Amino acid sequence: MAHQTGITSSRELVDFFANSRQSSDVRCMRITIENEAFVLDDSVNVRGSWEHDFDPSVVPFVNKSPAKPCYIFYRLDSRDSRDNYQWILLCYTPENAEIRYKMLYAASRASVKRDFGPFIRHEMQATALDDVCLEGYRSFLDAGAAPPPLTMHEEERERVRHEEKQVGDSGNAGGLPGVSFPVTQSAIEALRKLSAGEVDFLQLYIDISRETIDLSFADFENVVNPHSLCNKIPTNEGRYTLYRYKHSHEGDRISSILFIYSITSDCSIKERMLYSSCKNPLISGIATDPTIELIVDRRLEIEEGSELEESLLYDLVHPPTNIVKKKFDKPPGPGSRGGGARRPVKHT
C-alpha cells in the first residue's frame, strides 16, 4: 500500500523555500524529518560556481549524521524557461540506517518535492558516502540516470518500488521469512497454537524501539465471544488481531480465521506507516512458514473496536448475495406470430 505519510513542511521551512527560490544567495540546504514535519537542518550560501561549491557544501551535510537519511536540495547556476534557478534533489538513505527511517524518508519524498515546487531538474538517490560528491553526480548524469519528468502515476509507482526495495534490502534478522521486522519466538509459538486450534484469539504489536513484531496477548483459557471482541481492541495503539470466528451458516458449523488490523487516528504517523507496511508480509509469512501454515480467510481494517459487530463479521465471511430480478421478455414481433411464414406482398 503504498501509503502517504501526511508529513508537511514547517512554517519556517515553507518561508525558507520561497526565499531560496527567489534569492541568488542560497546554494544548498539540508532537510530532515523531526516531530513529523520537514524542517530546515542547515544551509550554505553561494561561494563560487555550482561545481566549485558542490563538495564543500554537500559532503559536510552528509557527514553530519552519516547513518541517518536526509534530503539535500542543491541549487545549480542554470535557469529554466521562466528564469527560475534549477535544483538537484539528493535523497540520501544510507544502507546502515534504521528500517523505520528508511521507510519514513522513502514514503515522504513525494511530499517534500511537492512542498518545494516544480524547480527540480535532477533527482538522485544515494546510499553510500562515495556517491554524494561531484564525481558521483557526474557519473549519475553520464550513465543517463537522470529520468525525464514523471507523471503522477509513474512517480507513485516508482516510490512504491523504492520503498519496497529499501525494506527488502534491510533483511530479516529472524522470525518469519519475508516479514520486514523479526517476529519474536513468543509470537511464533502463539501463532502455532492458533493454527493447531489450541487458542482462538491472539494479538500482536510492533515494538518500534526494538523493531520487532511481538505477542501482546493470547487467551489460552477463555473463549472470546464475538460480542466481546470489540472490548479487546486498544483505543490508543495499533494491533494485529487474529481471531478464530466460530459460527453457524446454513446449518453448518464453520470456523474462519480473521485478521483484524486496527490503528486509531491518535497513533503517530510513524506507527501508522509501520503497521501498514508490515501487515501484508506478516499475513504471507504465517501462511508460508512450514511450522505455522496459518491461512487467513478474511482480513479487516478498523479504527475503533466499536466497529466490530457480529453482523459485520458474518457479512465479511458470507457476503450477502444480490438477488437479480429476471428481465421481462419482450414479446416476439409480428413476423413470428403464429409460427408461419410471412405472406408475400404482390406489387402492382
Q: Where is pLDDT greater, at 298 or 107?
A: 298
Judged on CB neighbours under 10 Å (0-12, 13-18, 19+), 8 is middle
* Whole-angstrom distance, CA of residue 309 vs CA of residue 317: 13
Measure the CA–CA gap between 23 and 5, rounded to whole angstroms.
30
Select, from the ranges 81-95, 163-177, 309-323, the one with the highest average predicted confidence (pLDDT): 81-95
CB 99: neighbour CB atoms within 10 A?
A: 18
Q: Kindly state the cell numbers that stand for 84.
A: 527560475
- Angle, alpha carbons 70-72-76 (nearest 5°): 170
Beta carbons of 43 and 29 less than 8 angstroms apart: yes
Distance CA 77, CA 89 (A): 15
Structural contact between residues 261 and 240, judged by C-beta atoms closer than 8 angstroms:
yes
Q: What is the pLDDT of residues 212-262, one digit of tens each?
A: 999 999 887 778 889 889 999 998 899 999 999 999 988 889 999 999 999
Do residues 46 and 76 lie in contact, with contact meaning Cβ atoms separated by under 8 Å?
A: no
**H-helix or E-strand spanning residue 131:** none
pLDDT tens digits for 15-65? 998 888 877 899 999 999 998 899 999 999 999 999 999 999 999 999 988
CB-based contact 178:169 (threshold 8 Å): no
pTM to 2 decimal places: 0.49
Beta carbons within 8 Å of 309's beta carbon, 6+ residues apart: 230
DSSP secondary structure string for all residues of 257-286: EEEEEE--TTS-HHHHHHHHHHHHHHHHHH
Residue 36 has what pLDDT? 87
Cross-strand bridge partners of residue 253: 248
Contact 155, 113 (CB under 8 A): no
298-329 pLDDT, tens digit per residue, is 999 998 888 898 889 999 998 876 545 555 55
Report the 10 Å Cβ neighbour count for 203.
21
Question: Are residues 89 and 137 in contact, defined by beta-carbon separation less than 8 angstroms?
Answer: no
CB atoms within 10 A of CB 167: 20
Q: Which residue has the higher pLDDT, 134 or 152?
A: 134
Please give the sequence-ordered ranges of beta strands (E in DSSP) within 175-223, or none if there are none. Answer: 201-207, 212-218
Which of 60, 67, 70, 72 lies closest to 27 in space, CA to CA?
72
Q: In this predicted structure, what is the pLDDT of residue 167?
A: 46
Determine contact, residues 286/279, Cβ cutoff 8 Å: no
| pLDDT value for 347 | 55
- Which runs of E-coded beta strand occur in the chain? 8-9, 26-34, 37-45, 70-79, 85-92, 120-126, 201-207, 212-218, 239-249, 252-262, 298-302
